[in-house]
């Protein structure tokens, strides 16, 4: 596995989705992972609203926003029951998973896999499953917009070829013609 290929997320419980999400199933789409804690001021004031805006703006596009409640402190206060109330109160509509507890009980599994420094963290994964941005703290809206726009503008690849060389696309698939 290439060093920059995104590790799979480890989630113990999901909110706002009928089916559990995996990066493997989302391959071919741009994925944004927003990690947060309910008691993190930067998460509440900037990161989580930014993730919700991205979800609202691009929900019809080839982009998926995933929230990941990554608790590494105040465990007793940040339970799934509290998270459910938080999601309701802040009217969050993007899928949110609870990062699986780590072996030592302090650092959650996905947080450790990604080497995150804390919350909020913001990870962007391209259509090939490669991490193209890994940020900690507040991410500037304009920079996020520029990155997302450039990734959405890139044509997806079909069998390693640019989709612009594909012909005969339908709901079943795209047929590549030889030059």
Domain that holds residue 157: 11-176
Q: Is residue 92 included in any domain, yes or no?
A: yes
Integer Cα distance of 139 and 151 in angstroms: 17
Asked whether residue 4 is assigned to any structural domain, the reply reads no
3-state secondary structure 16-46: CCCCCCCCCCCCCCEEEEEEECCCCHHHHHH
State percent of the chain over pLDDT 90: 61
Helix (H) or strand (E) holding 110: helix 109-114
Token pair listed for 32:
């944004």
Q: What is the pLDDT of residues 54-71, one digit of tens each?
A: 999 987 768 999 999 998
The structure tokens listed for 169 are 């696309």
Q: What is the CATH number of the domain that holds 116?
A: 3.40.30.10
Q: Is residue 1 exposed (0-12), middle (13-18) or buried (19+ Cβ within 10 Å)?
A: exposed
Least confident of 103-107, 127-131, 135-139, 168-172: 168-172
CA 130 vs CA 28, 31, 117, 127, 137: distances in Å: 11, 10, 20, 7, 21
Look-up: residue for tokens 């990554």?
70
Instruction: Give SS3 for 167.
Output: strand
Q: Is residue 172's pLDDT more than 80?
A: no
* pLDDT band, residue 165 (cuts 50/70/90): very low
172 domain-assigned = yes
| Residue 2 within any structural domain of the chain | no
Segment 43-61 shows an average pLDDT of 90
Any domain includes 5: no
- Identify whether 21 is part of a domain: yes
30-36/121-125 β-pairing: antiparallel
How much is the pLDDT for 97? 96
Q: For residue 55, is it within any domain?
A: yes
CA-CA distance, 149 to 144, in Å (whole number)? 8
Asked if the structure places residue 46 within a domain, the reply is: yes
Say how many domains are in the chain: 1
**Which residue from 127, 79, 97, 102 is spatially nearest to 35, judged by alpha carbons?**
97
Residues 86-118 pLDDT 10s: 999 999 999 999 998 888 767 899 999 999 988
């Amino acid at each position: 596995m290439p060093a920059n290929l995104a590790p799979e997320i480890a989630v113990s419980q999901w909110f706002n989705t009928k089916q559990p999400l995996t990066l493997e199933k989302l391959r071919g789409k741009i994925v944004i992972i927003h990690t947060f804690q309910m008691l993190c001021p930067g998460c509440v004031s900037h990161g989580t609203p930014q993730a919700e805006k991205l979800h609202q703006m691009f929900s019809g596009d080839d982009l998926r926003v995933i929230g990941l409640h990554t608790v590494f402190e105040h465990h007793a206060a940040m339970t799934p029951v509290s998270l459910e109330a938080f999601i309701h109160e802040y009217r969050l509509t993007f899928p949110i998973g609870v990062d699986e507890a780590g072996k030592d009980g302090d650092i959650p599994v996905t947080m450790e896999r990604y080497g995150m420094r804390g919350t909020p963290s913001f990870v962007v994964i391209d259509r090939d499953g490669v991490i193209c941005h890994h940020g900690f703290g507040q991410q500037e809206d304009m920079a996020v917009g520029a990155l997302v726009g450039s990734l959405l503008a890139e044509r997806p690849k079909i069998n390693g070829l640019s989709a612009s060389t594909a012909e005969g696309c339908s709901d079943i698939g795209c047929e590549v013609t030889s030059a």
